Structure 1
Amino acid sequence: MGAIHEIVFDCEQPTELAWFWVNLLDGYALRQQDEAELARLAALGLAPEADQMVMLDGRGPSICFQNIDGRRPDNNRVHFDILASDRPSEVEKLTQAGAEIVRVLPTCTILRDPEGNQFCLLDNRQSIAA
């Protein structure tokens, strides 16, 4: 079915929050932003120097801290990005099981579980941040 790709924190201070978690979790470190990572972020419209996104890598799924200015009452602050081998088919199964589609983007589908918690379903062949 799917696999957890990232755990995503929507926050106001990504660098500060990432350092908190990297000091809490054994085996996790800040992702180094080499030229390839900077190009990937730029393609997503993100500027690392503006503290918009910080990534941690470790033994489990990557952890993403992304800047969301202000609290949005319709959005949970932590969500999973799930990889799916066949996104349209998985979306259909999930909606039949009680999920609700929030919006569909070219690279992912944002859904809510039956209790309203958001999560992102990503195409397995792509490695992107939600």
Structure 2
Amino acid sequence: MALRPVMVNVKALDPPAVGRFWAQALGWSAYNPGATTYVGPAGGLVWPDPVVLGIDVVPVPEPRTATKNRVHLDLATTSAAHRAELVARVKALGATPADVGQGDVPWTVLADPEGNEFCVLEPREAHRDTGPVAAVVVDCADPRAMARFWGEATDWTVHEVTGEHAVLRSAQDAGPYLEFLRTPDVKTVPDRVHLDLLPYPGDDKAAEVTRLRALGATDLDLGQGDVPWTCLTDPEGHEFCVLAPS
């Protein structure tokens, strides 16, 4: 048994506006199947997408705090000109420069219209086939431990593990990477961004949740009430949800 990451969940005061931003930034489309705004490749809503991680923007009443998110997106570029064009375009869409203590780096750190950080990377060979989202990046204290948990929790393959960095990617070696970066700060508030996982058809969601608990996941009560998904945290407290098969 294993779970597949299917989308990045982003909390927002104004989901349609944030969804439009991300759709235009990525060259995708925004869909409104219900209370949320789902952002995925153009051409019609396909969920779960077989390759990409869509972005599901969900409404919440609480504004974002000033605390940096511990989960963010890295966007891929193919050339210096493409990087400059993308930075200019997302700024025109409402992105603003963000200082997270990055210093002098070759990538550009920005925030979406509600303050969620993301990076526009310099061209990298590893990201030539990821699509517009190069990676979902998670700050952590112990990349090795995160690689063990997430490698067991999902069907994604662990590609690299050091004391500073761990990298996973889908078993098909397609779409974005999932990266864990060691950082000195600790988690203090719930993130506005997290991953949603989905069982494969025919798999038992309750059994998958039990398996995750045995791996070190902890139940999470966000006041969600009676919902078909299960909210959990990984061993370092990063929130994630296990969705019910459709």
Aligned counterpart, 2:16: 15
* Paired residue total: 107
The answer to whether the 8 Å contact 1:54/1:64 transfers is yes
Aligned counterpart, 1:95: 213
Give CA-to-partner distance per residue, 1:58-109, whole Å, 9 cap, x none: 2613211111111487532111111112212111211111110125845111
3-state SS of 1:69 partner: coil
Question: Aligned-residue CA RMSD in angstroms?
Answer: 2.2
Query: Aligned match of 2:193 in 78, 81, 84?
Result: 78
3-state SS of 1:76 partner: coil
The answer to whether the 8 Å contact 1:86/1:123 transfers is no
**Which 4+ residue blocks in structure 1 deviate beyond 3 angstroms?**
71-74, 103-106
Higher relative contact order (CA 8 A, sep 6+): 1
Amino acid at match of 1:81: D
Q: Identity of paired residues, percent?
A: 24
| Pair 106,79 (structure 1): closer, same or farther in 2 beyond 3 Å | same
1:101-116 aligned at under 5 Å gives the runs 101-103=219-221, 105-116=226-237
3-state SS of 1:123 partner: coil
Aligned counterpart, 2:57: 65
Give CA-to-partner distance per residue, 1:98-121, whole Å, 9 cap, x none: 110125845111100111111111
Unaligned runs of 5+ in 1: 47-52
3-state SS of 2:216 partner: coil
**Under a length normalisation based on structure 1, what TM-score does the superposition of the two structures give?**
0.70
Amino acid at match of 1:111: L
